[in-house]
A and B are shown apart, each in its own frame.
Chain A
């Protein structure tokens, strides 16, 4: 008997495989040079990420490894975000590796690259198993990175908390995935979509099991995104972890969770719309979670005194805004989500780069200690102000357009039959956006409107300067001229099979 073997082509995985090998090269280089090579490990990592970006550009689109791995426009868009976040996180951690991580630079950068590899695999994953493995490969290195200062009680505690929450959520998620697999008999997302349309004819209790599976998957991915009620780890980890790691976590891990969410829910479970007993059920559940994230993130951030905790709560709120686009369940909504993360990456990585530089110089993360910074370090203060205003969504910066597209996508769906509940989500987003301005402006107020001069003069090292400039360019250029990104983001949902674009 002749067996038809599936086509196993690794060509599509070239960027991931290269980055994986490069991570090992970085670790080995650090050991071989007897850990004396100062900043060269960091530069080596940045070069590797840049080369991976080049390989990604020439790899192109197509299936690989049977149909488990597929490079669609969404995968490529998200991979650009992951690589950008990793590049900027590595660039802003040079001061840290000089002062605090003297003996383990190779491991620090190597783990960051390995986590990026996991994210990239996840972005291309086309079935449940690969998605789950990608998510695990993303988070397990991040547990270690969060606890990287092993003599620092805060860092170790934050790593432990992240670990417990992460392990618990991945267990919940794999249990939910097992239900989904049991219902549809397949792990392939496209096949799952087809099977779900007919499966309710054979199973009597599909509603109960499907809702249980959906709840567990929203819980599992909600943990990764930091959505309430699974958000408690976010501020703790942001405060305790090394600052560049917190920055990487806020973009990389979040974008990875969103890619998984889009794949499983918007793609795999989309046939669920047609099943008569519960149209849009996951949308409503996710919508409630999004409203909770918006209210909680934006209100609790106001009373924070530590800037890293404040940015942690702000990232919960930003996840809420992103979820607004997701629950719209339309092609427009997904494009808006992709653009939102893209714009959010520049502003947030830039803001974290400034926070890191400030912390390296002063050892403080309190918002109070930013008082009068505008007089001693005017350029840095201007950059920080622009990043914070973009996060708050002030035109003409990229953050404004991002929020605008997300709201527009949701309002368009809300005008359709049965979509009225989306108005509540949009309303919550609009009202809490006003709150968010308060805590972002609070930092700006400290920097500019303080009577005393700051005792610190904060400069940027060359790599951190590069990161801040990239962030600044992204926020300004894509705020004023977003067309190229929008065109690309418009292609993101092309594989999802929406009926009307």
Chain B
């Protein structure tokens, strides 16, 4: 398969993730969309790595996965805290701070 096929798939996944972050109102769904974006970057890295015959991309992917796990751990803890405070995880209702 040509490298461009993987890149198009990565681009589509990234776009779905980015649009999801912008329009979803539920924080959990929002986290899932961020994960989708990170994984699309992983896919692009692997595709480039395969096309270029160098392994730096593989190493990159493992570290991206690790960071994503750390990020989700912090994020879910934050969701629990905010749910205890407000009893909602809807973004629209978490808006005390405004200019």
| Chain A interface (Cβ < 8 Å from any Cβ of B) | 128-129, 132-133, 136, 140, 143-144, 147, 150-151, 153-154, 156-161, 163-164, 167-168, 170-172, 174-175, 177-179, 181-182, 185-187, 235-236, 239-240, 300, 309
Contact = CB atoms under 8 A, between A and B. Distances in A.
B44 A157 contact: no
A96 to B, nearest CB: 19
A171 B75 contact: no
Interface string B64-98: 10010011001101110110111000000011111
B60 A171 contact: no
Contact of A160 (B17, B82, B84): B82
Contact of B57 (A153, A159, A181, A235): A181
Contacts of B31: 167
Contacts of B64: 174
Interface string B54-66: 1011011001100
B56 A160 contact: no
B96 A153 contact: yes
B44 A175 contact: yes
B27 interface: yes
Top 5 A-B pairs, shortest CB-CB distance: A182-B48, A171-B37, A236-B97, A175-B41, A178-B44
Q: A interface, by DSSP: helix, strand, loop or mixed?
A: helix
Centre residue among B27, B31, B57 by max chain A CB count within 10 A: B57
Contact of A140 (B37, B57, B71): B71
Interface of B: 7, 10, 14, 17-18, 21, 27, 30-31, 34, 37-38, 40-41, 44-45, 47-48, 51-52, 54, 56-57, 59-60, 63-64, 67, 70-71, 74-75, 77-79, 81-82, 84-86, 94-99
B42 to A, nearest CB: 8
B78 A159 contact: yes
A171 B17 CA distance: 10
A159 B10 CA distance: 30
A273 to B, nearest CB: 24
Contact of B54 (A150, A172, A185): A185
A143 B70 CA distance: 12
Contacts of B10: 178
A175 B40 contact: yes
Contacts of B74: 140, 143-144, 163
Contacts of A168: 18, 21, 34, 37
A67 to B, nearest CB: 13
Given A143-B74, A164-B30, A178 B45 contact: yes
Given A129-B63, A175-B44, A151 B97 contact: no
Contacts of A151: 85
Contacts of A170: 38, 67, 71
Contact of A153 (B34, B71, B85): B85
B63 A160 contact: no
A157 B34 contact: no
Contact of A239 (B27, B44, B84, B97): B97
